[in-house]
């Protein structure tokens, strides 16, 4: 494969919710107020800005203690704070705000997921699950929202311009010989994601240094980068038949900072299926730290 091609910001091909993340058209004709289930990082703020630009009339955010950036309150019309696990209270809040569409934006840290204080509705929902992984839990939350007339929409809605297409995205041009790291890492990451273990791997010269599990991308990258002692590649992909309502692959400025700290000099993402947030800042930090971001298409698509 060729690593020197220049990436662009074109929209990905159209498709269904579970396989393609282009969903703006579904809401263009009839704009609704939108509820944000807002986790940590810049994702909620980026989404709120994009939704405003698209003409969304009202935004209401469900924020989580020790997770959501308090500044989000300045970008939405209503915000209420919750503990992780207060599903019934959150749905009541959205209904009081007239919300019929909701979106999951931003992650919840493992420390809070292991410190759940579930309300009755959450306990009943969890009791029905045969498996408790991200897909089953988030899918169940979507089903609970739908029972109250609230549709969970794709987390990429209004953010199609944040999905880079194939090629060199930013940072220095990839060095010679990095094709092997890209191809090997992509293949391993796809298999790991198929097994629902994680969506990120760290590789170097045909060796797997780290596989993401529950700890998340940044921790896996730090662990793998330390073992690689410089010159490692981090590869992040979507799951097979990814449900873009939740658990969408995301990188941003913090990813670049962690890569620099870990000794990772190549970040590989899946073209058209990975959100790159705050692109201008990502580009600035990549140029400063000498880190390359490259988007690779899944050849099976």
Residue 74, judged by CB atoms within 10 A of its CB (0-12, 13-18, 19+), counts as exposed
- Per residue in 181-233, pLDDT (tens digit) is 999 999 999 999 999 899 999 999 999 999 999 888 999 999 999 999 999 99
- Per residue in 108-154, pLDDT (tens digit) is 876 665 566 788 998 999 888 887 767 778 889 999 999 999 999 99
CATH number for the domain including 76?
A: 3.40.50.20
Q: What is the model's pTM?
A: 0.85
Looking at the fold, whether 72 and 35 belong to one and the same domain comes out as yes
Looking at the fold, whether 105 and 170 belong to one and the same domain comes out as no
Looking at the fold, whether 94 and 135 belong to one and the same domain comes out as yes
Looking at the fold, whether 168 and 126 belong to one and the same domain comes out as no
Residue 266, strand partner residues: 233, 292
Rounded to whole angstroms, the Cα distance separating 243 from 265 reads 29
Total tally of structural domains belonging to the chain: 2
Question: Which pLDDT value is given to residue 274?
Answer: 97
Report the half-sphere exposure of 240 (CA within 13 A, side-chain side).
Answer: 12
Range 163-177 average pLDDT: 93
Assess whether pLDDT exceeds 70 at residue 16. no
**Closest residue by Cα to residue 93 from 126, 124, 132, 63:** 63
Point out the domain boundary residue: 152, 173, 208: 152
- Per residue in 61-99, pLDDT (tens digit) is 999 988 999 999 999 999 999 998 899 999 999 999 999
Question: Which pLDDT value is given to residue 131?
Answer: 78
CATH number for the domain including 267?
A: 3.40.140.80
Q: Does 178 fall in a domain?
A: yes
Looking at the fold, whether 288 and 172 belong to one and the same domain comes out as yes
Yes or no: say if 73 and 134 are a contact pair by the CB < 8 Å rule. Answer: no
Q: Does 179 fall in a domain?
A: yes
Residue 189: give the domain boundaries. Answer: 163-296
**Closest residue by Cα to residue 153 from 12, 13, 14, 26:** 26
Looking at the fold, whether 278 and 215 belong to one and the same domain comes out as yes
Neighbours of 235 (CB within 10 A): 27
Assess whether pLDDT exceeds 80 at residue 27. no
What is the β-pairing status of strands 250-251 and 275-276?
parallel
Confidence of residue 14 (pLDDT cuts 50, 70, 90): very low
- Per residue in 254-300, pLDDT (tens digit) is 999 999 999 999 999 999 999 999 999 999 999 999 999 999 999 87
């Amino acid at each position: 494969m060729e690593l020197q091609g220049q990436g662009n910001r074109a929209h990905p091909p159209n498709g269904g919710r579970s396989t393609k993340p282009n969903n703006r058209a579904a809401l263009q004709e009839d704009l609704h107020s939108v509820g944000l289930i807002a986790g940590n990082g810049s994702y909620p703020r980026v989404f709120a800005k994009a939704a405003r630009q698209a003409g969304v009339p009202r935004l209401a955010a469900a924020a989580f203690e020790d997770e959501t950036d308090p500044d989000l309150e300045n970008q939405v019309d209503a915000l209420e704070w919750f503990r992780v696990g207060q599903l019934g209270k959150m749905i009541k809040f959205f209904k009081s705000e007239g919300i019929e569409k909701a979106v999951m934006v931003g992650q919840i840290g493992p420390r809070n997921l292991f410190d759940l204080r579930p309300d009755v509705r959450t306990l009943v929902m969890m009791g029905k699950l045969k498996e408790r992984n991200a897909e089953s839990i988030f899918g169940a939350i979507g089903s609970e929202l739908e029972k109250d007339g609230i549709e969970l929409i794709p987390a990429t809605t209004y953010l199609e311009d944040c999905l880079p297409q194939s090629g060199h995205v930013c940072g220095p041009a990839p060095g010679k010989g990095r094709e092997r790291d890209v191809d090997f890492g992509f293949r391993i990451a796809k298999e790991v994601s198929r097994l629902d273990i994680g969506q990120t791997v760290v590789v170097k010269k045909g060796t797997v240094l780290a596989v993401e599990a529950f700890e998340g991308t940044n921790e896996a990258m730090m662990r793998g980068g330390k073992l690689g002692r410089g010159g490692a590649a981090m590869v992040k992909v979507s799951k097979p038949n990814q449900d873009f309502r939740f658990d969408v692959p995301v990188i941003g400025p913090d990813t670049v900072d962690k890569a620099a700290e870990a000794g990772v000099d190549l970040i590989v993402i899946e073209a058209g299926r990975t959100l790159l947030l705050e692109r201008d800042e990502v580009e600035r930090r990549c140029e400063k730290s000498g880190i390359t971001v490259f988007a690779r298409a899944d050849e099976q698509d």
